[in-house]
Amino acid sequence: MSDFSEKRVQQQIRNFERALDGYEGNEPFARYLTSFFKINKQMGSKDRKWTSRLCYNFFRLGKGAKQLSQQKRLVIAEYLCEKESPLVSLFEPEWNLDLTLEEKLTFLQDQNLLLLEDVFPFTNKLSPAIDQNIFIQSLFIQPDLFIRVKKGKEKFVKAIFEAEQIIYHFISDQTIALANGTSLQRFKDLEGVIEVQDLSSQRTVEFMSAFPKENWWDACAASGGKALLFLDKYPTTNLMVSDIRMSILRNLDERFERAGIQNYRKKIVDLTKDTTPILGAELFDGIIVDAPCTGSGTWGRSPENISYFNAKKIEDFSALQKDIVKNASLHLKAGKPLVYITCSVFEKENEDVIDYIQKELGYTLDSYKVLKGYTEKADSMFVARLIKL
């Protein structure tokens, strides 16, 4: 990085400022950035890479150091997120980039530049099991890319990665961690053999124990990640998937086809309304509700949300989640499990909804867990298994 002149650094800062100025938080920043680069065709690959890096590092600072200028905040963000930074070397050459993240945060606090609690202004809304400081520190670290390997294909995948000199790490028999940004599209032989799925998401299957020939319903199936996970472990069950829009289910169909899965049912179901006209009196042996949520457990991957999120949405999602569970619950047999999942770290979406399910819908809590992905460079999630009385 010593080849970065002051002129070059200033150019990258201007690119960062132009990219940030046009973003209003109404869409994922990754989508906005793709459009920004298409419009600014004069930017080469290195410029695009640097603009992306500076923007994402800046977003990781969240609401921290708001009293400082944008450029100073950017330098602080680079300092916290990187081991080498031409911006830090130019503007704060005395700052030691080799320190650990915790040491850097202590240094900035001693300099009265940053308070950790200012970064993430929603700590009073976190689930009680979450360590606030460790969680906030994790927001400065890019999460890993995780894949799930189809049963029996572990050696096949390992051989391809080693032949291509891809750095990988087996977390378990079917779970592999890769560096974020690893390109998998070029490996056509892996189509249908691996699925990109976060570590915590994969661990939710531990709460889905099912028996052969049982009828299960994935009620908020989206693109089918949990359904594929479920069927890989319980291939002899009968699964119905549903979501609110056909376009979502078409994506699921494509994903299932690549995985070689044909034996499933699908329906368009709006779980905010009476489901009887669509499902009649049908009852299931198990229901999975991977509920719509704030996604706050995934903000390490989309840190722009820390700055643009409106806390009122927590209440809105909590109300939506209760409606969805209430309507889905009508189709569960007595004595059978409801598996409730969110990728949220907020108590209102997690423990509060579980309390509602028990008190208002007649369930007993079998088990639950806050999946602390923030300690493993993964997403953080919540999962609970409840039994209908």
pLDDT in tens, 149-176: 998 999 999 999 999 999 999 999 999 9
Q: What's the confidence (pLDDT) of residue 185?
A: 87
Tokens 């376009």 sit on residue: 247
Rg from Cα positions in the chain:
23
Residue reference for tokens 């291509």: 164
183-201 pLDDT tens trace: 998 898 999 899 999 999 9
Each residue's pLDDT tens digit, 17-54:
999 999 999 999 999 999 999 999 999 999 999 999 99
Say whether pLDDT at 289 is over 70. yes
What is the per-residue pLDDT for 4?
Answer: 73
CA angle 270, 272, 276 (to 5 degrees): 65
What is the rounded (10 degree) CA torsion for 130, 133, 135, 139? 160
- The mean pLDDT of the chain is 96
Q: Which of 319, 374, 295, 303 is nearest to 132 (CA)?
A: 374
Architecture of the domain spanning 145-196: 2-Layer Sandwich (3.30)
pLDDT for residue 132: 97
Chain-centre distance of CA 31, in angstroms? 16
> In three state form, how does the secondary structure of the chain look?
CCCCCHHHHHHHHHHHHHHHHCCCCCCCHHHHHHHHHHHCCCCCHHHHHHHHHHHHHHHHCCCCCCCCCHHHHHHHHHHHHCCCCHHHHHHCCCCCCCCCHHHHHHHHHHCCCCCHHHHCCCHHHECCCCCHHHHHHHCCCCCCEEEEECCCCHHHHHHHHHHCCCCEEEEECCEEEECCCCCCCCCHHHECCEEECCHHHHHHHHHCCCCCCCEEEECCCCCCHHHHHHHHHCCCCEEEEEECCHHHHHHHHHHHHHCCCCCCEEEECCCCCCCHHHHCCCCECEEEEECCCCCHHHCCCCCHHHHHCCCHHHHHHHHHHHHHHHHHHCCECCCCEEEEEECCCEHHHCHHHHHHHHHHHCEEEEEEEEECHHHCCCCCEEEEEEEEC
User: Residues 249-260: what's their mean pLDDT?
Assistant: 92
List of residues 6+ apart from 365 with CB closer than 8 A: 354, 358, 384, 385, 386
Same fold, 145-196 and 199-388: no
What's the CATH fold of domain 199-388?
A: Rossmann fold (3.40.50)
The two tokens of residue 221 are 């199936």
Q: Which residues are paired to 191 by β-bridges?
A: 194
* Section 234-262 average pLDDT: 93
Q: What is the pTM of this model?
A: 0.96
Kindly report which listed range (2-11, 94-103, 285-294) carries the lowest average pLDDT score: 2-11
What are the Cα distances from residue 34, in Å, to 163, 182, 295, 370? 32, 18, 22, 34
Q: What pLDDT, on a 0 to 100 scale, did the predictor assign at position 3?
A: 59
What is the percent of the chain with per-residue pLDDT over 70, rounded to a whole number? 99
Domain boundaries, the chain: 6-119, 145-196, 199-388
Alpha-carbon distance of 253 to 266, in angstroms, equals 9
Residues listed for the chain: 389
Cα angle: 141, vertex 53, 66; to 5 degrees = 75
Q: Are 256 and 224 in contact (CB under 8 A)?
A: yes
Which of 122-126, 273-277, 298-302 has the weakest average pLDDT? 273-277
Contact 366, 337 (CB under 8 A): yes
Please answer whether residues 285 and 215 qualify as being in contact, where contact means their C-beta atoms are separated by less than 8 angstroms.
yes
